[in-house]
Amino acid sequence: MALSPLTAVLLTAKRSMGLSFADLGQRLGADEVWVASLIYGQATATPGQVEALVQALGLEGDGAELAKQLTIYPVKGALDPVIPTDPLLYRFYEILQVYGLPLKDVIQEKFGDGIMSAIDFSLNVDRQDDPRGDRVVVTMNGKFLPYGKW
Amino acid sequence: MALSPLTAVLLTAKRSMGLSFADLGQRLGADEVWVASLIYGQATATPGQVEALVQALGLEGDGAELAKQLTIYPVKGALDPVIPTDPLLYRFYEILQVYGLPLKDVIQEKFGDGIMSAIDFSLNVDRQDDPRGDRVVVTMNGKFLPYGKW
Amino acid sequence: MALSPLTAVLLTAKRSMGLSFADLGQRLGADEVWVASLIYGQATATPGQVEALVQALGLEGDGAELAKQLTIYPVKGALDPVIPTDPLLYRFYEILQVYGLPLKDVIQEKFGDGIMSAIDFSLNVDRQDDPRGDRVVVTMNGKFLPYGKW
Amino acid sequence: MALSPLTAVLLTAKRSMGLSFADLGQRLGADEVWVASLIYGQATATPGQVEALVQALGLEGDGAELAKQLTIYPVKGALDPVIPTDPLLYRFYEILQVYGLPLKDVIQEKFGDGIMSAIDFSLNVDRQDDPRGDRVVVTMNGKFLPYGKW
Amino acid sequence: MALSPLTAVLLTAKRSMGLSFADLGQRLGADEVWVASLIYGQATATPGQVEALVQALGLEGDGAELAKQLTIYPVKGALDPVIPTDPLLYRFYEILQVYGLPLKDVIQEKFGDGIMSAIDFSLNVDRQDDPRGDRVVVTMNGKFLPYGKW
Amino acid sequence: MALSPLTAVLLTAKRSMGLSFADLGQRLGADEVWVASLIYGQATATPGQVEALVQALGLEGDGAELAKQLTIYPVKGALDPVIPTDPLLYRFYEILQVYGLPLKDVIQEKFGDGIMSAIDFSLNVDRQDDPRGDRVVVTMNGKFLPYGKW
Amino acid sequence: MALSPLTAVLLTAKRSMGLSFADLGQRLGADEVWVASLIYGQATATPGQVEALVQALGLEGDGAELAKQLTIYPVKGALDPVIPTDPLLYRFYEILQVYGLPLKDVIQEKFGDGIMSAIDFSLNVDRQDDPRGDRVVVTMNGKFLPYGKW
Amino acid sequence: MALSPLTAVLLTAKRSMGLSFADLGQRLGADEVWVASLIYGQATATPGQVEALVQALGLEGDGAELAKQLTIYPVKGALDPVIPTDPLLYRFYEILQVYGLPLKDVIQEKFGDGIMSAIDFSLNVDRQDDPRGDRVVVTMNGKFLPYGKW
Amino acid sequence: MALSPLTAVLLTAKRSMGLSFADLGQRLGADEVWVASLIYGQATATPGQVEALVQALGLEGDGAELAKQLTIYPVKGALDPVIPTDPLLYRFYEILQVYGLPLKDVIQEKFGDGIMSAIDFSLNVDRQDDPRGDRVVVTMNGKFLPYGKW
Amino acid sequence: MALSPLTAVLLTAKRSMGLSFADLGQRLGADEVWVASLIYGQATATPGQVEALVQALGLEGDGAELAKQLTIYPVKGALDPVIPTDPLLYRFYEILQVYGLPLKDVIQEKFGDGIMSAIDFSLNVDRQDDPRGDRVVVTMNGKFLPYGKW
């Protein structure tokens, strides 16, 4: 999966600065996952956030110029092929295959006919220590949107 | 998407008994999402859980006989087409498209090269009241599995 | 594309009663397109709307029994194959192919980064008389949802 | 989704001039959506419209030369992948999945066997203010074409 | 490719009556290709045409009842798989692959930016005798539709 | 759909010379559609036809050198994606979807089990004036090939 | 891959009669591969061949009635999925993947621009004894069809 | 279908030397189809065969250097798209669709449960003169491999 | 994934008899994986093996009759969809995605240009006890087949 | 299938140094298959392993710089197309098609409902001498992961 030139520049700078997404999140006043989605071209920054990112990553010249594109609303959705083959990514597709219909029924039993928004939405990643092996906790939080009738 | 005969029987009985997945979860000593995944043919029950379910749903005759299949390890994965068209289900695919690579990077930055297990895994749904519209909170909790080297 | 038994029963009854979707819409207090989406298994009715529909269509026995399924939240999305081959349906896919990116840019220029909801949404069909050939006017009206940041 | 060189040049110039599609529409005597479709390589301009666009965008040299391609009839249809993954674009595909068959039935009930043309066609975007959240109104207007018999 | 029950009944009756599509065309006052498209569920007949067809094919009872469905506007498009594997059908797909872009350029050079309608359209098949092997002549005749600008 | 370098050179030269495919056809002693298929890399020219084309288009240097490739038998079939999204091209696919099986039956009723050749084949485009809108007439003429038995 | 009822009846009868395809070929005056293709619904028999087959297989009643369908020109092409997963069948697809372009170049170097017909065509299977393991020899024999120019 | 740089160099040199695949086969002591498969990157040569090919084609400098890659075991399989659209290539896919199951049954009736190897395999192309049109004869010869049981 | 009637009968009988695949393997003188592949319609049994299986499973009447089909060479390959969604099955596809090219290079470095046969092949499953969690050991053993040259 | 620049550099250096994957494995203290997966961008090395690889392959300048990327967690999964066409790779897909369901049943009969991990996993290739033709032995060893219930 080829990275866009902008994403490649930002990830390289991040590595050479030795900064984590959480570090960048503090500089931009945002969550680490959101910052990562910005860097991957899936979200839009304010000019102030671009400025903070340029400074944090020590970008100059072409890199700083390129970063201005972060204020343009992107065409989103980035996986190639459409069913991801990377094992970490695939597990989320597998969760949808195995637990999708049960999830739908439980959500709609609690809320009625409608959906969980993926737009008015946030996504967090936490680490849960466990002596049998630490655990990844992914929390999705989206507004319930009931179907309109007209 | 055609339901299997077993799933159809169980969902119909559940509706006529007026029971929620949470009600069934209490009877089986299990979470509501897991019970829903059992009913959708994505999990395996113990004979005791089958017994509890048969009683809770008032199944008799053929229905009770059919329910014994819940102890057979199923072929899992149930979506047709492979990219779901139901709007609630699609939003989870969209989250993977938009936030998949950011999620991968943040998880691996915190844990190293590996994945979140979808097997040693649980999934919960909660309601968060909000005056601007209540919110769906989906929590995924999976063991981190580091890549083996050999 | 095979119709579900419920949809087949409802459409046959509608034809034998000589009622239009607009007629049914008046009985149910709803728009004709929404009523059609209910009959095609894409929306959920209240028990009162089911009652009104059963009476309007003169359903009895099995048909009336089947109609109760209209209160169950359906798995939505109904096209087979995923790119429709029916010419009327395909034109809407073609509009997306030809005018999709322009539409995205114009909507986001007016509203910012976000989407038009397809859930908090209505859809109307009108006829516009024109001596050179009457015209179909399709109006989509959906709430703008701005992307959340967190 | 890679933009063609021509589209990239035009969008960059538009941004640096601070012009909206509506501004460009006024200069070309055309609707903003049509102008956007021209810029995305989905429509054909007259030489006069090319001239007006070149002036409005301050194009010179290679850019002005490139713009002459806008008079060549393009190969249309621009989405990659064929089922769009961008959330705003996908919602229009979802509307087709959920409301496609109902829409077909209502149109044909009003007009007979035939289609809404996507060629003798216009598409408009309007903003409808609403205290609960402003709404996007998309209006499609296409000539009804009855099926020929021979 | 499974035939619909209606198509199967009509084709079987046609064979047992020893009638050609041209024979049926004379009875219905229509071209043989159009009659074949009606029988394959791709066109809509008037009640008078249904009556003529029922008589020509000697249909009674269930068959005559079934034939009434020919007045319902069908969901069109009938090939499975979407790229046909039957050799006669595939050749038309191959013509599109090999001669599609040349055909587009020649049509648009003669007519401007637009399409040949497949709705206001007729299709004829003729036999051209040739001592080196007779030839199939397929003539497509569709109204040119120029792209609207707005 | 990216054009090959050779096709791009030939089409650009054709435009700058102000020649139609019909003009080129006269120079090469061939039909306009066949010339277009040659330019799109779907047919093979004789050295004499290459010479005539080079002269007609005023090609020199690299362009003339490149044109020699027109004598190499090409890998044919040029559409991307395999179901075309360009509206003019798609209509021919739609004709195959809607009228494919009827066409097959009528051809085979007239000729027996076999196909219309797409190799021993010609394709012409004509304009038919019509006060209600001019019409495109596409004529396909292919040798009937009966199935061998052995 | 589900067999058609006719194919299933014929293969069962063939097995119970203990006849090989070669035996049947002798009765029908045809090659064993062609007879197999007839039984799989890919070819058309004369009434005399149907009669010979009915007798050879000892068909009576419904089976004999069903066999009359062998005179109807079939919709051909029978693999599901379109890239076969059966290992014997897949090897022929693999030969096309690995040796397809070389085969094209060698055929066209010998014959010019054109194809090997798959219609005016025969296919034979022979056994070649070999002490290191016997060999399958498949011989395809098709008329060369040069591309028409017009 | 883009050729690899190595294939492009070899085919160009072959054309400028005026050599056929059969000529090259004589120089390398191999069949013409095998030589073509080597040039298309589907087979591996010995260093001696590379030397012979370099001399026959008059390669020097970069070309000769590049040719050394012919000793590296290639990733094989080369068609794009996976169902070929070139008419000559497609016919072999069509033969698989139409005659695949009959071929399987005849081979297995003669040999038992197993396959024809596509590895211990050869492929030859011959010309058969015929006053009604010369014929292409393709002969595939592969070792029969019976299924192991364990 | 629907099981064939034969597979369903055999698996049900196996469960009611309380026999493992290893138990059946002992009765048939074969490995447990091979017996499972026979039951899933992927291998062919001798009449003696069918007899042993019928006795072991206590089949009578229709079931015993059906079991005779185990001597017919099956159409093999059984996954639906072609990229399996069952998590256990998918892991083997994932191993191919992640370790496929490395595996190819290591095998070919050891053996030369060729393949591991999947026909002259066996597959075993063993359990390896491990205090950190028992391990599945899958051993594939296939004859190396070097590419033929001709 | 295009190799990444890093993979191409490493494979070229490996060939010019005349080292096998087993040789490299000894230098890095790792199995040959794992080293190959590292070189193909499917695994992550420690800085010490990168250093050892750089020395073993005699990399300098750009090559040595590029090799540092081996410490970045890669996006894994590398096959194009998703069903591999290379014959050696395809055989592993075929094994999954033919023996997948039997393998699933035998593993789950031995271990219960769960999967073989492809993460806590190793893969080895051995040569087994055999007078009838040497054999490839592929051993997969993965931790069994039982499904969680919650």
**What's the pLDDT tens digit per position in F62-95?**
999 999 999 999 999 988 888 999 999 999 999 9
Cβ-proximal residues to G115 (8 Å cutoff; 6+ apart), any chain: F119, G144, G145, H87, H88, H91
Residue A48 · residue A23 · CB < 8 Å: no
SS3 (DSSP) at D103: helix
Tokens representing F18 are 């102000």
The CATH-assigned architecture of domain A113-150 is 2-Layer Sandwich (3.30)
> Which band of pLDDT confidence, cut at 50, 70 and 90, is reported for residue I99?
very high
In this structure, which long-range contacts are made by residues A124-129, counting pairs with CB atoms below 8 Å and at least 24 apart in sequence? A124/A31, A124/A33, A124/C150, A125/A32, A125/A33, A125/B103, A125/B106, A125/B107, A125/B110, A127/B110, A127/B111, A128/B141
pLDDT of D119 = 98
pLDDT for the residue numbered J141: 98
List of chain D residues whose C-beta atoms are within 8 Å of the C-beta of residue B97: 85
pTM (2 d.p.): 0.96
Instruction: Residue H82: list chain E partners with CB under 8 A.
Output: none
DSSP structure string for H8-41:
HHHHHHHHHHT--HHHHHHHHTS-HHHHHHHHTT
pLDDT at residue A87, rounded to an integer: 98
Kindly report the number of other CB atoms within 10 A of residue D43's CB atom. 24
> Can the peptide bond before residue F102 be classed as cis, meaning omega within 30 degrees of 0?
no
Alpha-carbon gap: H84 to the closest alpha carbon of chain E (Å): 10
Given 3.40.50.1860, 3.40.50.300, 3.30.2320.80, 3.30.1160.10, which CATH number is that of B87-146?
A: 3.30.1160.10
In contact, I3 and I41? CB cutoff 8 Å:
no
**By CA distance, what is E80's nearest residue in C?**
C81
Structure tokens at H111: 């040999």
* Tens of pLDDT, residues D74-126: 999 988 888 999 999 999 999 999 999 999 999 999 999 999 999 999 999 99
Query: Tell me, what's the pLDDT at D1?
Result: 60
Contacts of H132 in chain E (CB under 8 A): none
CB < 8 Å to A136, chain B: 107, 110-111, 116, 140-144
Nearest CB to F85: which of C85, C87, C97? C97
Residue B79 confidence class, pLDDT cut points 50, 70, 90: confident
- pLDDT number for residue J1: 60
Mean of pLDDT values over C30-49: 97
- Residues in H closer than 8 angstroms to F119, CB to CB, are 87
Please report, for residues A97, F150, G111, I24, the alpha-carbon distance to residue H129 in angstroms, rounded to integers and kept in the order given. 58, 18, 11, 59
* CA nearest to A122, candidates A29, A7, A28, A30: A30
* Distance (Å) from the alpha carbon of A128 to chain C's nearest alpha carbon: 21
pLDDT in the model for residue F126:
98
**Confidence band for F1, pLDDT divided at 50, 70 and 90:** low
C-alpha dihedral sign at E88, F41, A81, C148: negative
Closest-CA residue in chain A for I87? A94
Q: Is E94 within 8 Å of H83 when comparing Cβ atoms?
A: no
Q: How distant is the Cα of G6 from the closest Cα of chain I, in angstroms?
A: 18
Confidence band for I91, pLDDT divided at 50, 70 and 90: very high
Predicted pLDDT at A80? 82
Return the CATH number of H87-145, one of 3.40.190.10, 3.30.1160.10, 3.50.50.60, 1.25.10.10.
3.30.1160.10
CATH class of H5-71: mainly alpha
Distance CA B141, CA A91 (A): 12
Q: Give me the pLDDT at residue F78, please.
A: 80
Q: Up-side HSE of residue H138: CA atoms within 13 Å toward CB?
A: 29
* Cis before A84? omega within 30: no
G110: chain H residues, CB-CB within 8 Å:
125, 127, 136
Distance from CA of F45 to the nearest CA of G (A): 9
Low-confidence ranges of chain J (pLDDT < 50): none
Is there a shared CATH topology between the B5-71 domain and the B87-146 domain?
Answer: no
- pLDDT confidence of residue A81: 83
* Residue-level length of chain F: 150
Whether G76 sits inside 8 A of E84 (CB atoms) is no
Which of E140, E145, E111, E147 shows the shortest CA–CA distance to E124? E140
Share of chain D above pLDDT 70, in %: 99
What interface predicted TM-score (ipTM) does this complex get? 0.96
The verdict on a CB contact (< 8 Å) between F148 and G121 is yes
Pairing of strands F135-146, G114-128: unpaired
Minimum distance, in Å, between the CA of residue G79 and any CA atom of chain J: 16
Q: Reply yes or no on whether G16 is catalytic.
A: no
| Residue whose entry in the numeric block shows the structure tokens 């399958």 | G136
- Give the pLDDT of residue E81: 84
List the single residue in C104, C121, C147 with the smallest CB-CB distance to A119: C147
Hey, what are J90's tokens? Answer: 């395809």
Mean pLDDT in chain E?
96
Are the beta carbons of B119 and J120 separated by less than 8 Å? no
Residue type, D64: A
The list of chain H residues with pLDDT below 70 reads 1
The Cα–Cα gap between G21 and D80 comes to 49
- The pLDDT of residue F80: 82
The Cα of E66 is separated from the nearest Cα of chain D by a number of Å equal to 20
Where helices occur in chain D by DSSP H, the ranges are 5-17, 21-28, 32-39, 47-56, 61-67, 87-111
Tell me the residues of J at the G interface, defined by beta carbons under 8 Å apart. Answer: 83, 85, 87, 90, 94, 97-98
**Closest Cβ–Cβ partner in G31, G120, G122 for F145:** G120
pLDDT attached to residue E1? 60
Q: Is E29 helix (H, G, I), strand (E, B) or coil?
A: coil
G15, G20, G91, G135: the active-site residue: G91
Provide the annotated active-site residues of I.
91, 94, 117
Question: What is the band of D12 on the pLDDT scale with cuts at 50, 70, 90?
Answer: very high
Does A132 participate in catalysis according to the annotation? Answer: no
How far is Cα D2 from Cα A41, in angstroms, rounded to an integer? Answer: 13
In chain B, what percentage of residues exceed pLDDT 90?
A: 95
- Encode chain A (150 residues) as per-residue pLDDT tens digits: 678 999 999 999 999 999 999 999 999 999 999 999 999 999 999 999 999 999 999 999 999 999 999 999 999 998 888 899 999 999 999 999 999 999 999 999 999 999 999 999 999 999 999 999 999 999 999 999 999 999
CA closest to G38 among chain H residues: H102
Mutation choice for F interface testing from E105, E108, E134 by most F CBs within 10 A: E105
- Could you tell me the pLDDT band of residue B13, with boundaries at 50, 70 and 90? very high
Q: Considering only CB atoms, which chain I residues are within 8 Å of A87?
A: 94, 98
Average pLDDT over residues G126-139: 98
Tens digit of pLDDT for each residue in I5-53? 999 999 999 999 999 999 999 999 999 999 999 999 999 999 999 999 9
Give the pair of three-digit tokens for residue I96.
Answer: 């191919």
Note the pLDDT of residue E27. Answer: 97
* Helices of type H across H84-143: 87-111
Q: Please state, for a pLDDT cut of 70, what percent of chain E lies above it.
A: 99
Mind listing the pLDDT tens digit for each residue in F25-59? 999 999 999 999 999 999 999 999 999 999 999 99
**Could you tell me which residues of chain G have a Cβ less than 8 Å from any Cβ in chain I?**
1, 15, 81, 83-87, 89-90
Angle in degrees, CA A127, A129, A135, rounded to 5: 55
Check D94 against B97: CB less than 8 A apart: no
Sign of CA dihedral F40, F44, F48, F49: negative
Pick D145's closest partner by Cβ from E75, E104, E120: E120
Residue among E85, E91, E99, E136 with most chain G CBs within 10 A, to mutate: E85
Catalytic residue from among D20, D65, D91, D122: D91
Residue G1, pLDDT score: 60
Q: Kindly list the catalytic residues of J.
A: 91, 94, 117
Task: Label residue A33 exposed, middle or buried (CB < 10 Å: 0-12, 13-18, 19+).
Answer: buried
pLDDT score recorded for residue F18 = 97
Longest CA–CA separation in chain G, Å: 55
Chains A and C touch (3+ CB pairs under 8 A): yes
User: How many Å apart are CA G66 and CA G137, to the nearest integer?
Assistant: 34
Cβ-Cβ contacts under 8 Å, G118 against chain E? 87
C-alpha C126 chain-centroid distance:
14
Q: So what's the pLDDT on residue B78?
A: 80
- Let me know if H61 is exposed, middle or buried by CB neighbors in 10 A (0-12, 13-18, 19+): exposed
Q: What percent of chain C has pLDDT over 70?
A: 99
H90 and E90: CB-CB below 8 Å?
Answer: yes
Where chain E has pLDDT below 70, the residues are: 1
Beta strands G135-146; H114-128: pairing state: unpaired
Q: How confident is the model at residue C138 (pLDDT cuts 50, 70, 90)?
A: very high
Locate the domains of chain H by residue range: 5-71, 87-145
Chain D residues within 8 A of E31 when measuring between CB atoms? 150
Q: Name the nearest CA neighbour of C72 among B16, A96, B35.
A: B16
